[in-house]
Amino acid sequence: MRRIMQKRCLRAIGWLLAGMACSSMAIAQQAFPSKPLRIISIFAAGGGNDFLCRSVAAKLTEHLKQQVIVENRAGANGIIGTDAVARAAPDGYTMGLIPSGHVVNAAIVPKLPFDPVKDFTTLSMLGSSPLVLVVHPSLPVKSVAELRAFAKARPGELTYVSAGVGASGHLGGALFDLLAGTKMLHIPYKGMGPALIDLVSGQVTMSFATAASVGGHIRSGRLRALATTGEKRSPALAQLPTVGETVSGYEFRLWYGFVGPAKIPPEIVGRLNAELVKALNAPDTKKRIESQGVDVESSTPEAFAKLLVSDAGRWARVVKQAGIVAR
């Protein structure tokens, strides 16, 4: 009898401990976050990435009742900050905002300190924006079809500028060459500021640039806009066709998304995704982001992961075919 009672007592203690453990886990999950979080902006303060990070951080702070701090880790075209995200503890307290250039770095930089897909947990897309194909008004073309014909008849003569090797403007032009059968000359600058000065003055021919950087020049007539680069026409520039309406298969957009280090627990990923989606779709946050020419596109972690993988493969092929190498 004593032995039976001992077994029953031990079994009851086991159930009690198991129940306590489950309760502790539930409390721990409910308590997240229990301390300040940080979003790493992989570029310098004052830039577009920083603006987007701070817009979302302010709303997350309001919703989570915990301070969400933006930490700038600029350098090496975003690689330094992205590496800091990859090396952080996988506890959900560190996120980073990566641009589409994240997967391009993997294609042109020989030895990255991280794997662009495997070393990160995708949390949510933030949004995307197309580029605008602009030319100097002295160029006698008023459509993508005319530009393609003009460039084909003068291989190597037309010049397009970008903020540097592997920058979005470089990739936009390289993709155009590959799909349109043209051969234009890429001229990299140290930033779009000096590149646009030369473009507006007519020293160079054209560019694939963000709407925010060339909008004023288009309105003043100093540059002529021919098309946008997205899959669909941009609501903000609905009068412009897409490049893809003329050059079959052409589609290029910049995107931004939130990631954390690899192996964040699924329940925390779910919580962060829900909070990011809520913050991004709050009317005031959405208005701030769209003021920068970025269309808000929150997503599931799985959808963002799919985009990351597909774009990594796509740009690796483009970089290889175009012969783009880091300098």
Peptide bond into 155 cis (omega under 30): no
Peptide bond into 33 cis (omega under 30): yes
Task: At 72, list the tokens.
Answer: 């700038």
Task: Pick out the chain residues at pLDDT < 50.
Answer: 16, 21-29
Confirm if 262 and 119 have CB atoms less than 8 A apart: yes
Supply the pLDDT for residue 28.
43
Checking DSSP bridges between strand 159-162 and strand 206-210, what pairing results, if any? Answer: parallel
Longest dimension (CA), the chain: 102
Confirm if 258 and 95 have CB atoms less than 8 A apart: yes
Supply the pLDDT for residue 293.
81
Of 179, 309, 148, 151, nearest to 252 (Cα)? 179
Supply the pLDDT for residue 164.
86
Note the helical H segments in the chain.
Answer: 2-31, 48-64, 79-87, 101-108, 144-153, 168-180, 192-201, 211-220, 266-280, 283-290, 301-322
| Total number of residues shown for the chain | 327
All structural domains of the chain, each given as residue ranges with its CATH number in brackets, are 34-128+254-322 (3.40.190.150), 130-245 (3.40.190.10)
- Distance (Å, whole) CA 10 – CA 26: 24
Q: What are the tens digits of pLDDT across the range 66-82? A: 999 999 998 888 899 99
Supply the pLDDT for residue 1.
53
- What is the C-alpha end-to-end distance of the chain, expressed in Å? 82
Say what the alpha-carbon torsion angle 177, 179, 180, 183 is, to the nearest 10 degrees.
Answer: 20
Supply the pLDDT for residue 43.
87
Q: What angle do CA 211, 213, 215 make, to 5 degrees?
A: 55
Q: Residue 199 burial (CB < 10 Å; 0-12/13-18/19+)?
A: buried
Supply the pLDDT for residue 65.
94
Q: Tokens 């307290």 belong to which residue?
A: 93
Q: Sign of the C-alpha dihedral, residues 81, 82, 85, 87? A: negative
- Distance (Å, whole) CA 68 – CA 124: 17
Q: What are the tens digits of pLDDT across the range 252-264? A: 999 999 999 999 9
| Amino acid type, 236 | A
